[in-house]
Amino acid sequence: MKTIKILTLGAIASLASLSFAGDAPAVTPVDQCRLALDDAKNNMPANAYAAKLTLAEGFGTLSALETIYADDDDSKLIPTFLENCKKYAEIAKLQGETQALHNHISENWEKRAATNRTIEAIQEQIGTARSGKVSDLEAEKQAIKAQKDKLEASKNEAMDKLNALQSQMIQVTKDARGIILSMSDILFDVGRATLKTDLMTSLAKIAGILSVYQQFDVSIEGNTDNTGSEEFNMTLSQQRAENVMNFLVEQGIAQTRLTAKGLGMTMPIADNSTKEGRQKNRRVDLVITDRTQKVQ
C-alpha cells in the first residue's frame, strides 16, 4: 500500500515536473481523477461491494470528465466533476476500510467463540479434576475411618483384657493419658524393690496382652507415700519401676516400648495423712498409651 502510494505520488510529481518543463503534458484533471480512483482501489477487500459500486460511479464520472475535457479543457464543469471524482474515491476508500474492519470484526467473533469453547472445555476439565479429587479424598477418609475403627476395636479388646486383671491389688482406670494399671505395693516386699510372685504373674499376663496389641507403649511410674526420706522414696520408686520394666522385657516386650521412672512422693493420688491414703499412694502405675493415637 505504502509503495503504491509512493509510486502514485511519484507519478504525480513526475507529471507535475514535466508540466513545469512546458514541453510535456500537464497533470490533467482527468489524470488526477484517475489517480485518486486507482489509489482508492488499492487494498480493497474482495467483499467490499459498496466500495466497488462507489468506485464504479467514480469511474463513470471519470468518463464524463474525459468527454468534457476532450470537448473543452476550459469547461466550467471540470472543477466540479474533478471534485466529485475525488469524493467518490474518498468515499470508496472509506467504505473499503469499513469493510476491512467488518471482516476483522467477524474474524474476532469467530476467535471469541473458539476461545469461549476452549474455556468451557478447560472448566469441564477443572470440574473433573476436582470431582476426582473429592472421590479420592472420600476414599481416603473412609480408609482412615476404617483404620481408626479397627484400632479402636483393638483398643477396646485390649481394655477388656486389661480390665480382667482388675483385682484388689491391681486397679484398672482410664484417663486422658491412656489406660492406667495401678499396682499396689503389696506386690512388693516392704521397703524393697523385689517383685513378688503375684506381681510377676500379673505382669506376665500384661506382657501377653502387650505382645498382641503392639500399638501400646508403657510408661512405668514408681510412687511412694510421704513416710521416709525423699531420697529413699525416690530411689525405691525408681528401682521398683525399673524392675517391672526389666521383667516385661524378659517377657519379650521390646524395651523401646517401655520407659521407667521413679516419682517418689511427688505424685500422690490420695491423702498421705491417713493410712488408707498412704496405702493408695504406694504403688507402681503402668500407663498404657496408644502410639497410633499419639501420631494422629
Partner 1 sequence: MKAKIFACSLMLALAALTGCSGSQSGINRSLGQADATRSLINENKLDAGITSNSYSKLVQAKALKDDGKIEEAQALAEQSELDMRLAIAKSENEMAKNEDKKLEEALRADEERKVLYQSILEKETKK
From the number of C-beta atoms within 10 Å of its C-beta (0-12, 13-18, 19+), residue 242 rates as middle
- Cβ proximity to partner 1: between 102 and 150 the closer is 102
| Stretch near partner 1 under the rule CB under 8 A, chosen from 24-32, 97-105, 250-258, 262-270 | 97-105
What would the grid cell of residue 120 be? 468451557
- With CB under 8 A as the contact rule, the residue among 31, 87, 186, 249 that binds partner 1 is 87
Query: Is residue 129 at the binding interface for partner 1, with CB under 8 A as the rule?
Result: yes
Candidate list 10, 60, 208, 228; residue touching partner 1; CB under 8 A: 60
Contact between 111 and partner 1 by CB under 8 A: the answer reads yes
Q: Least distance to partner 1 from the beta carbon of 101, Å?
A: 4
Distances (CA, A) of 217 to 84, 99, 259: 106, 85, 8
CA distance 186 to 189: 7
Q: Are 194 and 243 in contact (CB under 8 A)?
A: yes
**Residue 101 near partner 1 by CB under 8 A:** yes
User: Counting contacts by CB under 8 A, is residue 84 touching partner 1?
Assistant: yes
The residue (of 112 and 291) whose beta carbon lies closer to partner 1 is 112
Shortest Å, Cβ 51 to partner 1: 9
How would you classify the pairing of strands 178-184 and 283-290? Answer: antiparallel
Nearest to 172 by CA among 286, 10, 8, 45: 286
Q: Is 275 exposed, middle or buried (0-12, 13-18, 19+ CB in 10 A)?
A: exposed
Q: Counting contacts by CB under 8 A, is residue 83 touching partner 1?
A: yes
Grid coordinates in use for 143? 480408609
3-state SS assignment for residue 252: coil
Among 112, 148, 177, 261, binds partner 1 (CB under 8 A): 112
- Exactly one of 69, 81, 216, 247 binds partner 1 (CB under 8 A); that residue is 81
Interface residues toward partner 1, by CB under 8 A: 50, 53-54, 56-57, 60, 76-77, 80-81, 83-84, 87-88, 90-91, 94-95, 97-98, 101-102, 104-105, 108-109, 111-112, 115-116, 118-119, 122-123, 125-126, 129-130, 133
